[in-house]
C-alpha cells in the first residue's frame, strides 16, 4: 500500500540543523535581491522579482549599484535600464551561488505573449553580454494563459522559464503541458487568502502543517507531476512560517527568504522527508488537459487563484513603476 503524504518518510537528522537536513532532499533557493545575505546560507539557486529588487536598492549598501547601472546606460529607455538593473543584480547573485538565478519579465506584459517573449529574449541577451551561461538563468513569467503560451515558445527556443504567480492546479497543469522548466506555487499567498476569508473562524492550529491550504495546493501539484512523469520542477514559494516549509520537505525546490533560512539554520529539530516521487507514482488519479477556454473557466472558478493572480500582477506592476522612478531620478 502506498504511503500517503503528510506522514514522515525518512527518519531523524541527528546533529544536523533543519536547513542542512532540508538540503538532503530538497534544493534550497534563496528568495531575495539582497545578495550580501546569500553566502552564509549557501543556497544553490536564487530568485528575484521587482519587489525584492526595489527593497534592496533602497538600502544604502546597494545605492552605488543602482547609480552605476543608470550612469552606464544613461539616455536609454527606462524599461531597458530596469532590465539592466535586474540583470546586474542577477550577475552579482550568480557570482555567489553555484546554480541558477530567476529574473522576471515586466508584469505589465502578463497578458501579451509576444511582448513577453521579446522581453525575455532581451533579458537573456543582456546576461550573455555579461558572459553568463544561459543555462544559469530562468526567466520568470506570470502564469496567465498568455504567460504560459510565451513560456512554451521560449522553452522551444531553449530559454528556461520559471512560472510565477501560480496559485491553482489549472495553472500548474497548463505550465507542465507547455514544458516550463519550473513552477513557483505561492504557498504563503494562498494561506493569506484563506485565512482572511475565514476571518474569526480561522483555526491556526487546525490549518497548520499538512492542513495548510497552500501546502495542500503544492502537494497536489507535486503528486500530479510525479505520477505522470512531468519533468517541470516544482518550487514552493512565498512562505509565511517554518511549518509550511517543513510540511513540503522533499519538494523539488523551495525558495525561502533569508529570515526563514536563518530560523531553519538555528533549529536542531528533526526534519523528515514528507513528499516523495515514488509514492506519488502509486496514487490513483486522472490526467487532465486545458485548452484556452477550459483554462480560463477553471481559473475563474477558483476565487482564490483569480484574486491572488490579479493582486500579484498589480503589486509587481506598482513596484516596477516605483523602481523606474528611482532609475529616472538616478
Residues classed as catalytic: 140
Distance CA 282, CA 272 (A): 20
Closest CA to 233 of 65, 55, 26, 37: 26
C-alpha cell at 94: 550568480
> Cα-flanking dihedrals φ and ψ of residue 184, to 5°?
-125, 80
Distance CA 220, CA 276 (A): 12
Distance CA 277, CA 283 (A): 10
Report the alpha-carbon angle 139-88-109, nearest 5. 40
Stretch (H or E) spanning 161: strand 161-166
236 contacts 187 by C-beta, under 8 angstroms: yes
276 contacts 51 by C-beta, under 8 angstroms: no
DSSP per-residue letters across 112-143: -HHHHHHHHHHHHHHHHHTT--GGGEEEEEE-
C-alpha cell at 187: 504557498
Amino acid at each position: 500500500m502506498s504511503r500517503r503524504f503528510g506522514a514522515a518518510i525518512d527518519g531523524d537528522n541527528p546533529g544536523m540543523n533543519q536547513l542542512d537536513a532540508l538540503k538532503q532532499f530538497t534544493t534550497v533557493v534563496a528568495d531575495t535581491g539582497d545578495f550580501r545575505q546569500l553566502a552564509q546560507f549557501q543556497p544553490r539557486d536564487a530568485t528575484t522579482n521587482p519587489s525584492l529588487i526595489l527593497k534592496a536598492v533602497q538600502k544604502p549598501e546597494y545605492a552605488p549599484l543602482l547609480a552605476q547601472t543608470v550612469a552606464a546606460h544613461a539616455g536609454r529607455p527606462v524599461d531597458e535600464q530596469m532590465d539592466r538593473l535586474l540583470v546586474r543584480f542577477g550577475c552579482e547573485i550568480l557570482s555567489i551561488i553555484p546554480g541558477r538565478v530567476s529574473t522576471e519579465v515586466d508584469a505589465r506584459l502578463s497578458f501579451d505573449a509576444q511582448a513577453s517573449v521579446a522581453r525575455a529574449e532581451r533579458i537573456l541577451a543582456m546576461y550573455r553580454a555579461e558572459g553568463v551561461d544561459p543555462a544559469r538563468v530562468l526567466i520568470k513569467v506570470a502564469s496567465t494563459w498568455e504567460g504560459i503560451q510565451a513560456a512554451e515558445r521560449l522553452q522551444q527556443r531553449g530559454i528556461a522559464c520559471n512560472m510565477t504567480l501560480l496559485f491553482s492546479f489549472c495553472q500548474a497543469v497548463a505550465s507542465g503541458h507547455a514544458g516550463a522548466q519550473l513552477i513557483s506555487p505561492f504557498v504563503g499567498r494562498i494561506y493569506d487568502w484563506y485565512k482572511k476569508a475565514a476571518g474569526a473562524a480561522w483555526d491556526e492550529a487546525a490549518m497548520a502543517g499538512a492542513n495548510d491550504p497552500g501546502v495542500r495546493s503544492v502537494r497536489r501539484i507535486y503528486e500530479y507531476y510525479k505520477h505522470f512523469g512531468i519533468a517541470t520542477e516544482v518550487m514552493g514559494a512565498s512562505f509565511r512560517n517554518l511549518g509550511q516549509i517543513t510540511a513540503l520537505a522533499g519538494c523539488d525546490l523551495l525558495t525561502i527568504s533569508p529570515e526563514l533560512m536563518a530560523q531553519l539554520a538555528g533549529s536542531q529539530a528533526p526534519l523528515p522527508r514528507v513528499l516523495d516521487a515514488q509514492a506519488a507514482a502509486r496514487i490513483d488519479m486522472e490526467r487532465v488537459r486545458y485548452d484556452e477556454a477550459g483554462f480560463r473557466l477553471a481559473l475563474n472558478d477558483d476565487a482564490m487563484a483569480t484574486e491572488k493572480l490579479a493582486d500579484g500582477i498589480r503589486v509587481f506592476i506598482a513596484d516596477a513603476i516605483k523602481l523606474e522612478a528611482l532609475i529616472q531620478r538616478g
